[in-house]
């Protein structure tokens, strides 16, 4: 009989091998690798084959991977460049988040979901992942046009708004209700996390240079950065916030001094190695058979249509109208709305948290996964058509 250790190693090897194979296939179609990881999880999970036994081990590695991924996202964010995009980007992002959040909450409420579930699905639909959009804009040679710059700037603001929303909503879910002591703890946590972020941002150059000068270890910069990211993640989690909030702000605080290709390259390789475990785990969590006997298929279909429609319409209308208010013409405004449509990042992380805490139902989780695929596949086609003639 095979030992537990052997079964764990087989499962982990199966995950990474299949993930990398499907990632290779997916990127050849100019799609984000995450779609391949999700598909692997769906195939080897209970939805299709049911091959994975030690899901907890995949989960543990996956959560470490996603914390490092979010830390790297902060690390690679150029705050000064984001400022250059200015008020236009902020207003576009705000319009998209408000419209999508409101529409998603309304649809969830009309379908009879409790307010905590409605808040969670609304939060899931609010963020944008522009990996698909940025790739398409670069291929079309329009990344530095006004539309491209606004989309990329809005993506930065969108990430920050999504993190704040996630922090608030996940904390409300954690305590089960909006209570004075809960709000006090959340507020304290946010104040402390942003205080540490501000301090780190201001002393990051001295801190990083001191590490480089005093340490004799080749991996000292990378190790210290990982410690900073994990420490910020622990701090935010300690106060009932998502650990991803602290990880992102930790990376953002160090972003202006970490320019070394060797350091960034290390994190990129690390992320590419361990973050697929999280997205495969997200696919494994999907188990439609667990609800087949107690659902109305037609009702579930309408829920999926409603959620996917809210995710698409909210971004196109919210971001598009906001761009129009900033003086862009109708075609440019529509282009920006479409460019802000894709999901394949923080939204999936929020969905996993919602499902594993019992706040999100399986049909809503399925809806979120379908939204990721629909927007990721349709955005490049729509953007290409919109930019023709520009």
Residue whose token pair is 């201001």: 202
**Residue 197 has what pLDDT?**
87
End-to-end CA gap in the chain: 65
* Topology at the third CATH level for domain 31-286+297-387: Na+/H+ antiporter like fold (1.20.1530)
Residue owning tokens 């996630």: 166
Q: Could you give the CA distance from residue 138 to residue 374 in angstroms, rounded to a whole number?
A: 21
* pLDDT computed for residue 22 by the predictor: 92
pLDDT tier at 82, thresholds 50, 70, 90: low
pLDDT of residue 312: 94
What is the mean predicted confidence (pLDDT) over 57-81?
Answer: 79
Statement: residue 187 has pLDDT above 80: no
- As a whole number of angstroms, the distance between CA 67 and CA 335 comes to 32
**Per-residue tokens: 332:** 């440019």
Domain map of the chain by residue range? 31-286+297-387
Condensed to tens digits (0 to 9), the pLDDT of residues 109-158 reads: 999 898 889 988 999 898 887 666 666 676 666 666 777 778 877 876 77
pLDDT of residue 385: 81
29 confidence band (pLDDT: 50, 70, 90): confident
Q: How confident is the model at residue 276 (pLDDT cuts 50, 70, 90)?
A: confident
Top mean-pLDDT range of 6-10, 30-34, 310-314, 361-365: 310-314
Please compute the mean of the pLDDT values over residues 295-322 and round it to a whole number. Answer: 91
Task: Choose between 160 and 25: higher pLDDT.
Answer: 25
Between 370 and 256, residue with greater pLDDT: 370
Calpha distance 230→6 (Å, rounded): 29
Q: Can you give the pLDDT at residue 18?
A: 93
The pLDDT mean for the chain works out to 81
At residue 237, the pLDDT reads: 80
Predicted TM-score (pTM) of the model is: 0.76
pLDDT per residue over 226-253, tens digit each?
A: 888 899 989 888 876 778 778 888 888 8
pLDDT at 170 over 80: no
Name all contacts of 6-11 with Cβ < 8 Å and 24+ positions apart. Answer: 7/53, 7/54, 8/54, 8/57, 11/51, 11/52, 11/53, 11/54, 11/57, 11/58
Q: What is the pLDDT of residue 254?
A: 84
Output DSSP code: residue 328.
-
Q: Which residues contact 130 (CB under 8 A, 6 or more apart)?
A: 151, 152, 155, 339, 340, 342
User: Residue 313's pLDDT is what?
Assistant: 95
Q: What percent of the chain has pLDDT over 90?
A: 16
Residue-level pLDDT at 142: 67
The yes-or-no verdict on residue 333 having pLDDT over 60 is yes
For residue 306, what pLDDT is reported? 94
pLDDT of residue 177: 59
> Is residue 81 pLDDT above 80, yes or no?
no
Which pLDDT does position 251 carry in this prediction? 86
3-class DSSP state for residue 76?
coil
Rounded to whole angstroms, the Cα distance separating 212 from 41 reads 40
Q: pLDDT exceeding 70 applies to what percent of the chain?
A: 85
Alpha carbons 165 and 104: distance in angstroms, whole number: 14
């Amino acid at each position: 009989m095979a030992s537990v250790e052997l079964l764990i190693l087989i499962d982990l090897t199966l995950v990474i091998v299949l993930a990398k194979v499907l990632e290779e296939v997916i990127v050849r179609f100019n799609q984000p690798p995450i779609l391949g990881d999700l598909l692997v999880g769906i195939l080897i999970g209970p939805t299709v084959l049911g091959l994975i036994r030690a899901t907890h081990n995949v989960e543990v590695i996956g959560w470490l991977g996603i914390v490092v991924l979010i830390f790297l996202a902060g690390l690679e964010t150029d705050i000064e460049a984001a400022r250059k995009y200015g008020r236009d980007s902020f207003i576009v992002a705000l319009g998209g988040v408000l419209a999508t959040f409101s529409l998603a909450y309304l649809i969830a409420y009309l379908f009879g979901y409790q307010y905590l579930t409605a808040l969670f699905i609304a939060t899931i639909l609010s963020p944008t992942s522009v990996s698909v959009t940025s790739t398409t804009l670069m291929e079309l040679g329009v990344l530095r046009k006004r539309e491209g710059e606004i989309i990329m700037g809005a993506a930065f603001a969108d990430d920050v708004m999504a993190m704040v929303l996630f922090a608030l909503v996940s904390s409300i879910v954690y305590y089960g209700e909006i209570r004075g002591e809960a709000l006090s703890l959340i507020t304290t946590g946010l104040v402390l996390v942003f205080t540490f972020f501000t301090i780190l941002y201001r002393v990051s150059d001295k801190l990083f240079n001191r590490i480089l000068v005093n340490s004799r270890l080749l991996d000292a910069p990378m190790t210290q950065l990982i410690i900073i990211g994990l420490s910020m993640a622990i701090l935010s989690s300690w106060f009932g916030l998502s650990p991803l909030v602290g990880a992102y702000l930790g990376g953002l605080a160090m972003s202006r001094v970490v320019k070394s290709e060797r350091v960034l390259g290390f994190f990129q390789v690390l992320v590419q190695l361990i973050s697929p475990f999280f997205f495969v785990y997200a696919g494994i969590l999907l188990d439609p058979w667990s609800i087949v006997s107690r659902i109305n298929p037609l009702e579930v279909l309408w829920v999926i249509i409603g959620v996917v429609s809210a995710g698409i319409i909210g971004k196109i209308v919210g971001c598009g109208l906001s761009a129009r208010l900033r003086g862009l013409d109708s075609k440019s405004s529509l282009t920006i709305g479409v460019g802000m449509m894709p999901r394949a990042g923080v939204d999936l992380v929020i969905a996993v948290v919602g499902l594993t805490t019992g706040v999100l139902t399986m049909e809503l989780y399925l809806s979120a996964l379908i939204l990721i695929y629909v927007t990721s596949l349709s955005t490049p086609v729509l953007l290409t058509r919109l930019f023709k003639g520009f």
